[in-house]
A and B are shown apart, each in its own frame.
Chain A
Amino acid sequence: NAGVTQTPKFQVLKTGQSMTLQCAQDMNHNSMYWYRQDPGMGLRLIYYSASEGTTDKGEVPNGYNVSRLNKREFSLRLESAAPSQTSVYFCASSEGGESWDEQYFGPGTRLTVT
């Protein structure tokens, strides 16, 4: 049981390049999330998917797109990377529904945009 996995662990991009961050969970969770963590800012929600087939914007969605590929996988795409997107990205999942469920986090992806 791997929990929440993310690939890649590290990435360096040039301004304007695109890339997709992959996330998968094996806990049969309904809800999945993408956060970014910047120094002094805590974690901020980028996008989330309450259930398979749905996605919604979080606090900081500009410059990102997401795809809930199936129940297990939730990807985050940067179409044209900017230095302001240098951050650590965390994927998380939870059971969702009506329960007061905790979110389980992946190990994070450290992205640098030069």
Chain B
Amino acid sequence: AQKITQTQPGMFVQEKEAVTLDCTYDTSDPSYGLFWYKQPSSGEMIFLIYQGSYDQQNATEGRYSLNFQKARKSANLVISASQLGDSAMYFCAMREGRGGATNKLIFGTGTLLAVQP
């Protein structure tokens, strides 16, 4: 059965430093997608970055990059040059298959990031 594990309930980082949020996954489907979402204290879910299982390169979106290690089944989120506004809960999620009827996301339990000035 598919599963997402985020082992860091909470993390601190100094402003302007980089931080890595861990995510490991388990699936038997060779085709899957991995997502990271940010949830600030206001509660909305904000999409950050996506990585497909067949993508050859690690995904990047501005200050966000995804360190995808397929053999280790890990998809860690790296935030460079942290800002105070990055303080939020971060969720890793996975979808098996290639969309259509299998568009279901499985979420991890999240990591609460606090950026300190």
Contact = CB atoms under 8 A, between A and B. Distances in A.
Interface in B30-61: 33, 35, 37, 43-45, 47, 50, 52
Residue of A35, A58, A103 ringed by the most chain B CB atoms within 10 A = A103
Contact of B103 (A41, A43, A44, A48): A48
Contacts of B93: 43
Contact of B105 (A56, A103, A104, A108): A103
B104 A43 contact: no
A4 to B, nearest CB: 10
Interface residues of B, number: 24
A96 interface: yes
B105 A40 contact: no
A74 interface: no
Interface in A67-109: 88, 90, 92, 94, 96-105, 107-108
A47 to B, nearest CB: 10
B56 to A, nearest CB: 15
Interface string B94-117: 000011110111111110000000
B82 to A, nearest CB: 23
A100 B45 contact: no
A50 interface: yes
Interface of B: 4, 33, 35, 37, 43-45, 47, 50, 52, 91, 93, 98-101, 103-110
Q: 7 closest A-B pairs (Cβ-Cβ)?
A: A105-B45, A42-B107, A43-B107, A42-B109, A102-B47, A50-B101, A98-B99
